[in-house]
Amino acid sequence: MADRLAERTAMRRHRAWRRVLAWVVALVLVVGAAVAALWSPVLALEKAEVTVSGVDEYIDGAAVREIVEAPVGTPLPRLDTVAMREEVLGLRGVKDVRIARAWPHGLAVEVAPRVPVAAVPDGDELALLDSSGVRVATREAAPKGLPQVDVPLDDALALQAALHVLAALPARLAGQVEHVSADTQDAVETVLDDGTTVRWGGSSDLPLKVEAVRTLRSLDEGARTIDVSSPELPVTR
C-alpha cells in the first residue's frame, strides 16, 4: 500500500515538472520570437515598401520621404513612428499625418495637407493662408481661384474674421470671390467676379448669412451690393 502511494506521488510530481518544463519552453520560445522580431532583418523596413499619399503642391514631398525612409533597414517593431510623425508635422503645409506599419517590410504614410483659402500681402510677396490663418506657402502671385485678402497679417482679429467667412462659403460661391477686405473684425466684405460687393459684417451666423446671399442673388440679379451683416434683415442695392 505504501509503495503504491509513493508511486502515485512520484507520478504526480513528474507530471507537475513536465507542465512546468512545458511552460518554461513556451516562454523561452515567445521571448526568442520577440527578440528576433526586434533585431532580426526579417522584418526590416524596405524603401520600396514605403508608400506616401496626400502630398500636394504646397508640401515638400521629398522632405516627407526623407523622414519616413530614414530608418530603412530597421525592424518594423523598433520604428519610432511617434517621433517620425512629429517630424513630418513640422513641415510647412502639413495639417496632419498618419503613419502605420505595413507588415512585413513597409510603411503607409497618409498626409493631410493644409488647404489655402486666401492670399495675403506680405511685403512684395503673398502669404497663402488656410482657414486657421496658418501659412501654407509663399508666392509672388496668387494661384488661380484664390482670393486676395487685403488685411495686414498683424491684424489678427480682422484677418481671422475674413478667413472664417471664406471658409464658410460653399464651393460655387467661394469660386466667385476675387477680393476680400476687413477694416475691422466686424466689417468683412467680399467682391465677386461680377462686381457684386457682399457685406458680411462679422463672422457670426455665417450659415444664415450664406443662405441669405444665395437667396438674394437669385431674386435680385441686378443687385450690386448685398448687405447681410444683419442676416434677419438683409439689404440689397
Strand partners, 149: 180
User: By the 8 A CB rule, do 155 and 163 touch?
Assistant: no
Task: Return the exposure string of 121-154: e unless at least 16 CB atoms fall within 10 Å of the residue's CB, then b.
Answer: eeeeebbbbbbebebbbebeebeeebbbbebeee
Residues forming CATH 3.40.50.10960 domain(s) in the chain:
118-236
Check if the beta carbon of residue 232 is closer than 8 Å to that of residue 204.
no
Is 146 within 8 Å of 128 (Cβ atoms)?
yes
Q: What pLDDT does residue 9 have?
A: 64
**pLDDT per position as a tens digit, 106-165:** 999 999 999 999 999 999 999 999 999 999 999 999 999 999 999 999 999 999 999 999
Of 83, 78, 84, nearest in space to 43 by CA: 78
Q: How far apart are CA 113 and CA 25, in angstroms?
A: 50
- Listed as ranges, residues in the chain with pLDDT below 50 are 28, 30-32, 34
**CATH 1.20.1640.10 is held by the domain 118-236:** no
Residues 58, 62, 65: CA angle, nearest 5 degrees: 115
pLDDT of residue 5: 57
Beta bridge partners of 197: 191, 225
pLDDT of residue 41: 78
CATH topology of domain 43-113: Ubiquitin-like (UB roll) (3.10.20)
Alpha-carbon distance of 31 to 51, in angstroms, equals: 31
> Where does CATH 3.10.20.310 sit in the chain?
43-113
- 3-state class (DSSP) for residue 87: helix
Which pLDDT does position 86 carry in this prediction?
Answer: 98
